[in-house]
Amino acid sequence: MWTDSTLETRQLAGIGPQIAAKLAAAGVTKLRQLAEIEPRRLEAIAQRHYPFGNEVHRALAECMPPAVTLQCLPVAWLPGGLVELEITVERLSGSTAPSPARLLVGSLHDDALLVCRQLALEQFPSPLVLRTRTRSAVGRGKAVEVVASVVHERLVGVDTAMRTAVPPGVELQGQRCQVAPKAAPATGPWQQQQQQQGSGGLPAARGLGAAKAALSPAPPAQAPAAPAPAADFEPVFSFL
């Protein structure tokens, strides 16, 4: 039986296909809806005589699990691209019917199962608080999406589920999720020497123009200028 079946009430003792179809036609498709309908009303819908309605309520009390609430909250960003989650399961009703179930928590953004824990819903310490971690999807620009479910092992349609999405960049406990910046290159003496060796012994700060100038052949040396020729006349001095 699938969780969206309109004949979910067939799981209860005393309800067959015909009665389940009559209940579905009246809008009663879930087991929990049966507990909210008076016994005489059930008998009228199912076209059955007294004490059919009382027997249905008695069967419900013997098998229905207690109602629970489920919360899954992101609480903090952690180093290494992790998100810490807090899961809380709290029992609302005091049903004592044996109700084995499983608490399942998984992340949709990386398709990982985070928590798989068996619970006895009628007697687990309530509220139950657990913490787990999942990898963030910040580098891919996606939200952190987590689904938590309390899945009953004997009945269909009585599960509890919730979905949580944490957009990238939201603040959790004063910390904002962001992509870590790249580390700046080291500029110590040894690194500078390696940079110079990698560029042919040229300092990296001189740039491409300086490298081209240093690698181009030096221009030929020019010959020294010839001395000026001596004058072929002698100076004449006159005295007045």
Q: What is the pLDDT of residue 180?
A: 41
Shared domain for 83 and 166, answered yes or no, is yes
Domain assignment present for residue 57? The answer is yes
Grouped pLDDT means (10 residues each) for the chain, 240 residues: 74 90 92 90 94 93 92 89 92 86 93 95 94 78 88 92 86 60 46 47 41 47 51 40
Q: What is the pLDDT of residue 49?
A: 93
* CATH number for the domain that contains residue 55: 1.10.150.20
Domain assignment present for residue 206? The answer is no
Beta strand spans in the chain (E): 68-78, 82-91, 100-107, 112-120, 128-135, 144-152, 160-166, 171-172, 175-176
Of 147, 176, 205, the one marking the end of a domain is 176
Domain assignment present for residue 142? The answer is yes
Shared domain for 147 and 99, answered yes or no, is yes
Would you list the DSSP string of 219-230?
PPPPPPPPPPPP
To 5 degrees, how large is the angle CA 87–CA 92–CA 93?
145
Measured distance CA(122)–CA(66) in Å, rounded: 6
β-partners of residue 92 are: none
Residue 211, phi then psi, degrees to nearest 5 = -65, -40
61 close to 36: Cβ distance less than 8 angstroms: no
Domain of residue 24: give its range.
Answer: 8-63
Measured distance CA(75)–CA(64) in Å, rounded: 33
Shared domain for 167 and 92, answered yes or no, is yes
Our count of domains for the chain comes to: 2
Q: What is the pLDDT of residue 230?
A: 46
Q: What is the pLDDT of residue 195?
A: 47
* CATH number for the domain that contains residue 95: 2.60.40.150
Q: What is the pLDDT of residue 137?
A: 67
Pairing mode, strands 100-107 and 112-120: antiparallel
